[in-house]
Every structure is written in C-alpha cells, then in structure tokens.
C-alpha cells in the first residue's frame, strides 16, 4: 500500500505486476535472534555453492508460497538430487564418451516447451520437477541398457542420444543453476570431467 502511494505522489507509473515472495521458517520456527536460529546465506553458499542453495529454495518452495528451511533438507537435496542424480549422470555418460573417444555434435538444443511454459508462468518448482523427470529418465536408460556392455556401434548411438539429453538438461537448467549449466556444457565440449557437486 505504501509503495504505490509513494509512486503516485511522485508522479511515477504504477507497476502492472508485483512479485511477492513467501516467508519461511527454520525447522518450523520463526527466524529469531533470541532463538539463535538465524541462517547466514553467505555461509551456506560458501559450503554448498550458489547454485545448490538457489536450487534448494526453488525446488523446496513454490514461488510466492511460504516454506520451511532446514539444513538437513538442504543436505539431502544436495546429496541425492544434485550430486547423485545430476552429477553422477553427467559423469557416467562423459566418462564412457571419453573412453570411446567419441565427439559431441555441439548442435543447438532448446528448452522443452513444457518447461518454458512453466517458467513463463513463474512455476519454478514445477519446472525443476520437469527437468528432474528428464534426469531420472536418462539415469534409468543407463541402468536398463548398460551401455558398457553394448556392441561398439550400438553404444556410440546410445551415448550420442544421452549426450543430447544432457545438453537439453543443461540448457533447461540455465535459468535456475547458471554456473552448473555452463559447467556441464564446458565438460561436454572439453571432456575434462570433474564432479559438479563434490561430496560434503
């Protein structure tokens, strides 16, 4: 109420749309200095990285809704989803690609329309859910097909499809995890493989 009034008084145009974030509690309690449960985002990013904290907040809470933060939840998402699901997927595929001396095509990929629509509608949690469906689908394909046991030509064809999937995942992650997206693209290009999310 105060801000629009100030804008009107100053003769400035009113905004057509306002984005309002929700509140979050810490393990079910309001943030309070007396409770000594204040969290330092700089400490969290120093330990887990900018992308991991951004991912947690976007995946844990729907945009504009209230939510609850706990260090344990952050650690679980870091370990299970970022390090294991995404990190292991990229490392497994690129290790096989490098071993077979295959070349990535570097063709331009697009963010899937469904994910673009969710981003446009500010449904960031749901967009990340869709991206993780792609991550999990690629991991399942590796477990089912066992590319290391395939004949060389079939393996090359399978890995080529997986590389394209990883490229789509990287492109889709760019609005949410920009550093990780760039790192995946760099690793695909150079095949200099290193963990995306080191073990904590």
CATH number where 115 lies: 1.10.730.10
Asked if residue 182 belongs to a domain, the reply is yes
Asked if residue 83 belongs to a domain, the reply is yes
Asked if residue 162 belongs to a domain, the reply is yes
Better-scored residue on pLDDT, 54 or 35: 54
- Report pLDDT for 29: 75
Asked if residue 4 belongs to a domain, the reply is no
Asked if residue 135 belongs to a domain, the reply is yes
Q: What are the pLDDT digits (tens) for 160-199?
A: 999 999 999 999 999 999 999 999 999 999 999 999 999 8
Angle at Cα 49 formed by Cα 21 and Cα 115, nearest 5°? 55
Q: How confident is the model at residue 40 (pLDDT cuts 50, 70, 90)?
A: confident
Determine the structural domain holding residue 95 and report its residue range: 24-190
Q: What are the pLDDT digits (tens) for 107-143?
A: 788 999 999 999 999 999 999 999 999 999 999 999 9
Give mean pLDDT, residues 72-78: 95
**pTM exceeds 0.85:** yes
- Report pLDDT for 99: 92
Domain count across the chain = 1
């Amino acid at each position: 109420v105060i801000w629009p009034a100030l804008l009107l008084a100053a003769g400035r145009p009113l905004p057509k749309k306002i984005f309002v974030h929700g509140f979050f509690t810490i393990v079910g309690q309001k943030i309070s200095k007396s409770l000594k449960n204040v969290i330092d985002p700089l400490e969290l990013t120093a330990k887990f990285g900018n992308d991991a904290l951004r991912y947690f907040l976007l995946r844990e809470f729907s945009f504009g809704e209230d939510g609850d933060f706990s260090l344990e939840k952050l650690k679980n998402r870091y370990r299970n989803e970022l390090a294991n699901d995404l990190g292991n997927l990229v490392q497994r595929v690129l290790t096989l690609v490098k071993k077979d001396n295959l070349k990535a095509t570097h063709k331009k990929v697009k963010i899937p329309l469904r994910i673009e629509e969710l981003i446009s509608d500010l449904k960031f949690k749901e967009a990340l859910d869709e991206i993780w469906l792609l991550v999990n689908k690629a991991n399942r394909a590796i477990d089912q097909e066992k590319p290391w046991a395939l004949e060389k030509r079939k393996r090359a064809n399978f890995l080529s499809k997986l590389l394209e999937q990883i490229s789509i995942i990287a492109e889709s992650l760019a609005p949410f995890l920009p550093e990780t997206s760039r790192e995946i693209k760099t690793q695909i290009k150079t095949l200099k493989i290193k963990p995306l999310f080191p073990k904590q």
